[in-house]
Amino acid sequence: MSLRVAIVDDHAMFRTGVRAEVDHDVEVVAEAEDVDSAVEAIIRTLPDVVLLDVHMPGGGGLEVIRRVHPRHLEVKFLALSVSDAAEDVIGIIRAGARGYVTKNISGPELVDAIRRVASGDAVFSPRLAGFVLDAFAGTIEVAQVDEDLDRLTEREREVMRLIARGYAYKEVAKELFISVKTVETHVSSVLRKLQLSSRHELTRWANERRLI
């Protein structure tokens, strides 16, 4: 049974392009071009995975996740964007997206990412891994509670670094002599920390990152 996918993007040309690229492997059940129509279409069709643009009319991808996610946890979101603003990328992950890839991703890679997200794993592009390392870098504030969520383990850091270096999950597994499943577990755990960490530096970092 092929996966059911919704494409949410305000550029019709881009939607057509993505549809053409993934059409053989997944079933595109809905397309939408703004927040309201997206929320309506997603709730109506309940796709397995929503490919979600970060910026679009009505409040952006973040707003779509905010409205749909709490009610339909089974619908997974994969952010697909041209925006590389760390603040937005981290924001959409913290809202509940299971991954982030840039729009210049190739068709097969995108299908692979859709499958991964649908099966409950997380998809980290090199850029997202870089952002994560940046966000969790630096000194940990002692005053912050919940320390487990506020730091990456050595292994998770290792996995993030390899992904940032352009390694696919399979290559990461080979490099670290662990199974792909274990790599997936590490990545999911990083995703969880990213979503749940109360570390206020995380948001502050995103806000101030470009104020050099």
Partner 1 sequence: MTIHDAPPAYRRAFRPADGRLLGGVAAGLAEHLGVPVVWVRAGFVVATWFHGAGVLAYLLLWWFLPVREKDLPPGLAAATRRGDRSAGTRGRPVREVVQTLALCAVGLGVLIILAHARGGVEPRYLAPILLAGAGVVVVWRQLDESSQDRTLWRDRGPAAILRTAVGLLLVVVAGVFLLNEGGLGSLLDVAAATLIALAGLGLVLGPWIARLSSDLASERRERVRTQERADVAAHLHDSVLQTLALLQKNASDPAAVATLARQQERELRSWLYGEQAEHGVSLAAGVRAAAAEVETAHHVRVDVITVGDAPADADVAALVRAAREAMVNAAKHAQVDRVDVYLEVTGKAAEVFVRDRGVGFDPEAVAADRMGLRGSIRGRMERHGGTADVRSAPGEGTEVRLCLPLHRSEEGDPS
Binding site for partner 1 (CB under 8 A): 10, 54-63, 66, 82-85, 87-88, 91, 94, 126-127, 129-130, 133-134, 137, 143, 161, 164-167, 198, 203, 206-207, 210-212
What whole-number distance in Å separates Cα of residue 171 and Cα of residue 161?
12
Indicate the residue among 118 and 191 with the shorter CB distance to partner 1.
191
The Cβ of residue 19 has, within 10 Å, a number of other Cβ atoms equal to: 15
CB of 101 to partner 1, least distance (A): 12
Burial of 96 (0-12, 13-18, 19+ CB in 10 A): middle
Least CB distance from residue 121 to partner 1, whole Å? 21
Please say which residue, 46 or 85, places its beta carbon nearer to partner 1: 85
Given the complex with partner 1, which of 45 and 66 has the nearer CB atom?
66
Shortest distance (Å) from residue 95 CB to partner 1: 9
Smallest distance, partner 1 to C-beta of residue 62, A: 5
| Measured CA angle at 150 (ends 196, 165), to 5 deg | 95
Complex with partner 1: residue 63 or 121, whichever CB lies closer: 63
Q: Which two tokens stand for residue 63?
A: 């707003």
* Nearest distance in Å: CB 207, partner 1: 7
Cα–Cα dist 130/136, whole Å: 10
Min dist. Cβ of residue 43 to partner 1 (A): 19
Instruction: State which residue, 72 or 209, has the beta carbon closest to partner 1.
Output: 209
The residue (of 96 and 130) whose beta carbon lies closer to partner 1 is 130
The two beta strands, 27-32 and 49-52, are unpaired
Report the C-alpha gap between 207 and 177 in whole angstroms.
37
